[in-house]
Amino acid sequence: MQKLLDMISEEVGQAFAAAGYDAALGRTTISNRPDLCEFQCNGAMTGAKQYRKAPFLIAEEVAVRLMAAPESVLASAEAVKPGFLNFRMKEEALAAYLNSERVCAKFGLPEPEKKQRIVLDYGGPNVAKPLHVGHLRSAVIGEALKRMGRYNGHEIIGDIHMGDWGLQMGLVITELRHRSPELPYFDESFAGEYPEEAPFTVSDLEEIYPAASARSKEDEAYYGEAMEATHLLQEKKRGYYALWQKIIEVSVADLRKNYAALDVDFDLWNGESAVNDIIPGMVERIRSAGCAYESNGALVIDVAEESDAKELPPCILLKSDGAALYTTTDLATIQDRMTTIMPDELLYVTDKRQELHFTQVFRAARKTGLVPEHVKLTHIGFGTVNGKDGKPFKTRQGGVMRLETLIADINEEMLKKIRSNEDIPEEEARRTAEQVALAALKYGDLSNQSSKDYIFDMDKFCSFEGDTGPYILYTMVRIKSILHRAAAEAPAAAEGAAGAEPGGASCDGTASCGTGIREAQSPAEKSLQITLARFGEVMQSAWEEKAPHRICSYIYGLSNEFNSFYHGTKILSEADREKRDGWLALLGLALGVLEACISVLGFEAPERM
């Protein structure tokens, strides 16, 4: 389906052209003065200079032509000083648009001109370290982007890219060796099969890593051992490699559980270790192509450019001891993705403090020819999750907030609220609380522009009122309940409303209007209808801008509009059958659109709450 604003812009453009001006001037937007009009076009202002004519005169000529067109979708076109064009849409044209929208697949969202294949690198947890609140954003934003991209018709391959190969692994191995030197993994002469069972649990690991990390900072010999262990692991020393596999096994099982609780899922569970074997070849190629040089024993690539405002340090490919670094594995991962997946774009979602790293990696990838010009490289850097004191979010004791704890806390908070509705049995209350809590958590995060820091405010996120996930769900539950009641009263008609399932239905705009949406009867209904008609445009531009917060603000506005319409309209008690059915159809569309939006944001609505 044509997007609403494109449809109007096209008509306005034709009027500009008929009056002798450039049709492109007809670009129309949603009004920023809803008290004055529904849509506006500033093309006459833009064209005034070019045509050496007062903008108001141009606007008037266009308005007259628009009003004379019998087929126009506009009810009014008005030229206002100094040269704006203000429009209102015909109620019947709007209703017809919505009736096509409700039967089209994806509510008429156009398929992309060119389907993109994109590798989305997000999550990025580090094996053997518990997930903390800092990992929340990468998971939540990345998952939303993945779903947004797919909904828009692209092929998105999500890769968790675990940190499973660096010094942290050497530290864990070293600490284990100090604690249990008798394990066969540390016995040089051991040639048998290593035990099936891991010699530690995930809780052990979570205690071992911080202990090892702390000791390595004080004990130089210990640090040296950990470096050596890392090195030996990377050379795949038999016992170390087998032990490492156990660490991965235990850790990944736990990660899967944690991400599942967030309804976050990856197509590829690769880690930094996956590219270990291709690093030497890659380094050799880069070296022999003359793209890297030695500096203080290290092998580096210059990535500075003349236009840089700040000097960009060279990127280190190999340290003086020959060890690979974070940058090296990222470059090797790029090489691997380019050859095995052949994507059109590589997209990374990490803390924005990694911006310098990605600038270096991207420039090095171009310079060394790993990534050709036509493949896009994008880093989406997000801000920090802060506490109410404006400092990074901590536990009450001042420690790092574990993601598990945070989720348990918010679930508990929500359960209290849901339990206050005594009609809901305990079992259902628990499930619902988890669902609503996840919405609170994700919406609380996603409604902020990704690059900004935000304050984690549990009370605010969990509130059923205001710009929150629970408010959106509450609105949806309200719509569901009206549709259910209607179905109980008169099964056929309500089914027609809820049956606005956008299956593979024909999308030629010839929806049958038997039980369709009718002309808006009130300003509140009309605003709701216009907002519903903007779904395709919002879904598309939110994806283009990689901006989940655009979808959040859209559904917040939509929910507010629905609620004002609902408060001013007696739907179920309406005696006029056609009117009532028309409203039920409108509700069906509103619910469908809200469902599509929250599903790309990564959460779901319960039946009641």
Binding site for ligand ARG (CB under 6 A): 121, 124, 126, 161, 163, 330, 348, 350
Alpha-carbon separation of residue 30 from 41, 98, 156, 538, 540 (angstroms): 9, 17, 31, 12, 16
Q: Which is nearer to ligand ARG, 11 or 121 (CB)?
A: 121
Report the nearest approach of ligand ARG to the CB of residue 207 (Å): 20
103 and 141 Cβ atoms separated by less than 8 Å:
no
The CB-based long-range contact list for 52-60 (8 Å cut-off, 24+ gap) reads 54/83, 55/82, 55/83, 56/81, 56/82, 56/83, 58/19, 58/21, 58/83, 59/83, 59/84, 59/85
Please list the alpha-helical segments (H only) found in 190-319: 202-218, 220-234, 238-261, 279-288
Q: Which is nearer to ligand ARG, 185 or 348 (CB)?
A: 348
Q: Which is nearer to ligand ARG, 163 or 602 (CB)?
A: 163
Report the nearest approach of ligand ARG to the CB of residue 268 (Å): 12
Report the nearest approach of ligand ARG to the CB of residue 452 (Å): 19
Q: Which is nearer to ligand ARG, 279 or 542 (CB)?
A: 279
Q: Which is nearer to ligand ARG, 138 or 540 (CB)?
A: 138
436 and 606 Cβ atoms separated by less than 8 Å:
yes
Report the nearest approach of ligand ARG to the CB of residue 338 (Å): 14
Q: Which is nearer to ligand ARG, 115 or 117 (CB)?
A: 117
Please count the other Cβ atoms lying within 10 Å of the Cβ belonging to residue 282.
20
Report the nearest approach of ligand ARG to the CB of residue 344 (Å): 18
Q: Which is nearer to ligand ARG, 351 or 537 (CB)?
A: 351
Phi, psi dihedrals of residue 184, rounded to the nearest 5°: -60, -25
Indicate the residue whose CB is closest to ligand ARG. 124
Paired sense of beta strands 84-89 and 39-41, if any: antiparallel
Paired sense of beta strands 345-351 and 117-121, if any: parallel
Phi-psi bin for 453: left (phi > 0), alpha (psi -120 to 50), beta? beta
Closest Cα partner for 579 from 588, 566, 591, 570?
570
Report d(CA 285, CA 370) in Å as an integer: 10
**If DSSP codes are grouped into helix, strand and coil, which group holds residue 85?**
strand
Q: Which is nearer to ligand ARG, 31 or 258 (CB)?
A: 258
**Count of H-run helices and E-run strands, the chain:** 21, 13
Q: Which is nearer to ligand ARG, 61 or 330 (CB)?
A: 330
Report the nearest approach of ligand ARG to the CB of residue 324 (Å): 13
Report the nearest approach of ligand ARG to the CB of residue 75 (Å): 52
Q: Which is nearer to ligand ARG, 213 or 541 (CB)?
A: 213
Report the nearest approach of ligand ARG to the CB of residue 333 (Å): 6
Report d(CA 101, CA 458) in Å as an integer: 37
Any idea what the Cα angle at residue 478 is, between residues 475 and 484, rounded to 5°?
145
594 and 474 Cβ atoms separated by less than 8 Å:
no
Q: Which is nearer to ligand ARG, 164 or 225 (CB)?
A: 164
Q: DSSP secondary structure string, 125-179? A: -BTTS--BHHHHHHHHHHHHHHHHHHHTT-EEEEE--BB-SSHHHHHHHHHHHHH
Report the nearest approach of ligand ARG to the CB of residue 164 (Å): 9
* H-helix or E-strand spanning residue 316: strand 315-318
Q: Which is nearer to ligand ARG, 328 or 515 (CB)?
A: 328
Report the nearest approach of ligand ARG to the CB of residue 256 (Å): 17
Report the nearest approach of ligand ARG to the CB of residue 400 (Å): 13
Report the nearest approach of ligand ARG to the CB of residue 303 (Å): 16
The token pair at 157 is 């391959």
**If DSSP codes are grouped into helix, strand and coil, which group holds residue 29?**
strand
